[in-house]
Amino acid sequence: MDERSEAAPRDTVPAVISGAEHLHFACNGCGDCCRRHRVALTHHDLARLKRVVTEPVERLVQWLPPDEVDLEAESPSFVTLPPGPRLMVLGQTSAGCRFLTSDGRCSVYSARPRDCELYPFVLERDDRRRPLRLTLFEPEGCGDRAPMPKNLSLLASADAQRWAELDDYRTLVNRWNRLARHRLRFGHRVGTAEQFLAFIDSTPPHEATT
């Protein structure tokens, strides 16, 4: 995604956008994305999941080190934990996403993470946050052509909401990491994954501010 600025609203949608033909993408339900990709989570995603599942939150997530993630090691989404920086992702089994059913469906579809909701659309924006280009993330073989295109305004709105939630989450991660650096400076251990989950749960999503 392009860097975003405060120059214009996120939901400003131009009449014409490069890659508009991808709006005809329709998921064919193969479930391959749920088997191959890891889904990064925010506390907003966890809050939605907790409304529809009864399992402890610790069982919903896994923690990936930088060498297992297609992100820069200094990404603001990495959480400082005793083993080192880790990215919080949706848990998987040997068959893929833990919420993927035997018939290839999502058992938490109404509460699925934002990254799942937007997949496989990648909406690039210009320096005024206006949608500039639409591409698909590894779409080969996983989609059909829908006769009616997706609504670009709705897609742009969902994308903006995803970015807002990610910014919100990264604010909390930054706060946690600053505390971890302070503890390390004085020779103390940093908080555990369980303590981080309690930390982000103690701050209602809409109150996460700088």
The domain containing residue 109 runs over which residues?
Answer: 20-205
Considering its fold, how many domains does the chain have in total? Answer: 1
pTM of the model: 0.86
Read off the pLDDT of residues 151-205 as tens digits, 9 standing for 90 and up: 999 999 999 999 999 999 999 999 999 999 999 999 999 999 999 999 999 876 5
7 within some domain = no
| Residue 210 in domain | no
Domain annotation covers residue 49: yes
Q: Is residue 195 part of a domain?
A: yes
- pLDDT for 140 equals 65
CA distance 198 to 209: 17
**How far is Cα 63 from Cα 194, in angstroms, rounded to an integer?**
11
Q: Is 6 contained in some domain?
A: no
Q: At what angle do helices 152-185 and 193-201 cross, to 10 degrees?
A: 120
Closest C-alpha among 94, 91, 66 to residue 79: 66
Which CA distances in Å does 35 have to 42, 97, 98, 101, 166?
20, 6, 9, 11, 23
Kindly state whether residue 193 falls inside one of the protein's structural domains.
yes
Question: Is residue 3 assigned to a domain?
Answer: no
The answer to the question of residue 10 being in a domain is no
